[in-house]
């Protein structure tokens, strides 16, 4: 952030998760992890599921959700 930008109030964004990218539908500064509920700053978002349209804070959370969803499959 440069000195001319106004600091933004933290707000939750709505995002459409795509293969290898995402599209911001409603602006915000973070999204929530579907497993832990932890806030993930948009610029640090690395893990998500396209099919479930969920974000994850780290690889361990993504794996945990995958295992939960594929336990009975």
**pLDDT classification of 4: cutoffs 50, 70, 90:** low
Q: What is the pLDDT of residue 3?
A: 53
Q: What is the pLDDT of residue 6?
A: 60
Give tens-digit pLDDT for 21-70: 999 999 999 999 999 999 999 999 999 999 999 999 999 999 999 999 98
φ/ψ (deg, to 5) at 37:
80, 0
Return d(Cα 25, Cα 32) in angstroms, integer. 15
Between the two ends of the chain, the Cα-to-Cα distance in Å is 46
């Amino acid at each position: 952030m440069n000195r001319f930008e106004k600091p933004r109030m933290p707000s939750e964004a709505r995002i459409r998760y795509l293969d290898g990218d995402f599209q911001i539908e409603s602006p915000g500064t973070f999204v929530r992890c579907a497993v832990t509920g932890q806030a993930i700053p948009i610029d640090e978002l690395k893990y998500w599921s396209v099919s479930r349209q969920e974000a994850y804070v780290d690889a361990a959370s993504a794996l945990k959700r995958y295992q939960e969803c594929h336990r009975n499959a």
